[in-house]
Every structure is written in C-alpha cells, then in structure tokens.
Structure 1
Amino acid sequence: MPISTPTVMPTLAPSPTPTPAPSPTPTPAPSPTPTPKPVEKINVTVSSQMVKKVGGKYRYLFEIRNHDSKSFTGIATISLYNDKQQTALGQGTFDMIQPLQPSLGSVVCFDSNTGPISQRGGDGITHFKYTIMVNGQGVNAGEGQITGKYEDTSLF
C-alpha cells in the first residue's frame, strides 16, 4: 500500500476586519450651578406702640405690619438698645405662623428688665432694631425709636 505523504494545504489567513475608529465620546455638558435667587425684599415693618410696666418688668409692645401686596409668613426679631451700649438689652422673636395679610398688622410684645428712657434716664431703652426673615433669608431690616407712650399698671 502506498504511503501518502500529507501535503500541507495553504491556510487562508482570515482577512482582518477593520476595527472602526473609536468615535469620541461626547462629554456631557456640565450641569449649570443653580444660581441662588436674589433675596426679594418684603415690605414688612415694625413700629413701637407702647411700653407698660407690669410687675417689676417693662413690657414693650410692637406692631408688625405688612405693607406688601402679598401675605407674609416668616420671622420677625426685635432687639432693644440704649444710646450707651452696642449689645441688645432685650430681644423677642416672633414666628408668623398664620399668614399676615396685606395691609394688616399684628401686635406682639416681650418683657425686659430695663425700662424706657422716660423711666430710667440715660440708661433706658431708646431705640429698637428689627430683622424680617423668610426661609432663613433676611428680607427686610430697620430700626426705630421707642414710643413715649407709657403706662404703669401697678398704679391701677
């Protein structure tokens, strides 16, 4: 029997499939940083209405009035000062939970050991400062004189 020698068959090399060039991955546009909204002023003011002596303390009555065109819900902080000191001699903070409607006011009060200038002379309270806050941002601030209206309830 004849022996056959194997013949090497040429193998076809696979033709390379061209690899597509990588397309550049688009870089996503950076998301814009939210710009904080500018603080919108609200026309809510505070005015001194009266001081009453109640027991051994002085009760300071103020009106918080909404002069704005929309209702106000926020916080009013009122601080008492005299002309000699820079630090507050009394302070009250009022959370207006119920909306204060336009053109309306709300009377608030707080007590202090220090009386007005009419009762305590040069050491007395002469003026106040207030800050109006909405959602943690100051929307109005101001100051005013303590009224000369005074009542001593211990005389009744």
Structure 2
Amino acid sequence: MERRTFSIAQKGRTLHGYAARFGEPAAIGGFTEVIQPGAFTRSLAGPAAASIRAIYEHDDSALLGRVGAGTLRLKEDDVGLAFELDLPDTTLGRDVAELVKRGDLDGCSFGFVSVTEQWEGEQRSLQSVDLHEITITANPVYLTTTVSVRSRKPMHALANARRYLEILECIR
C-alpha cells in the first residue's frame, strides 16, 4: 500500500551549508588562520564523531543536533566541511529556521582542539583538529561559511523524481 501525506511541520526544517572552507583565510586577533584539506578527517572517522554537536552561537545549552542522533550529518569534501542539520521542533529550532530564511543568520563556526598545525610568521595552518561542534552564527570568523534552509532532503526529492519517471514509463 502506498500513502501520500504532506507534513507542513517538516517544511524548512533542514539546514545545510559549509561550517568551514579549506584554504580561505580568516583574521583572528593578531594572526591569520587557514584550514587545510583533510583537517577534519580524523574527527569524522573516529569514535568521538558521535558526540559532535550542532549548536547556536557557541552556546552549549542551545543544542540543535548531534551526529550520534543522526540529526547532524557532516562530510568533508573538496570545498570544506559540509553539513546537513535536521532542526528540532522546538522554539530554538523554529527561531533558527526563521532567522536563516530571513538572512539574519548566514554563517557558521566550529569549536575544536588543534592536533596538528604549522605556523609561518603570523599565519596558522590547521592540518588536523579534534572537532567538537559546529555552530550557526550571525558573526562567522570565516566569512565564506554558509547556511541555508532546505525544505526537504535531496534524497527524498530524487527518490520522488525517480518514482515519477517510473510511473510515466509504465503508462507508456
């Protein structure tokens, strides 16, 4: 049996973007910092990955999702640290979704402990980090980070498109 339902509660509940981008310099106090490709590989592959959280404005009490719960998905690609975040149906989750839609929240940050880094003068190059959190923020240090709202997961949209094409094939 197939059922068709439309849930308005799920519309606009997934955020996606880049919490960090490789090779993009950020001015931090008296030095510049650059994240190197592969900097997050160790964190994402290790057992501690399940405890990586998504929070709002670096506030530990403003939890939005967690890798271990499946509500936060992180992936390192050739651009940087990509994420998808299923927002909770809470006041905070609804507020964050609305602020992202309006463009008031338009960037990300991350909390980490440096494992391997190199210094050249006043430039710090992060080669490997222990990632603890990503944060949705209005004041990103890395200005090329992004966050936007996706109303449905791309896999669902692709599956629906395939199903539609299959139905068209059957009709012909």
Say yes or no: TM over 0.5. no
Q: Which has the higher contact order (CA 8 A, sep 6+)?
A: 2
TM-score normalised per structure 2: 0.32
Larger Rg: 1
| Larger relative helix fraction | 2
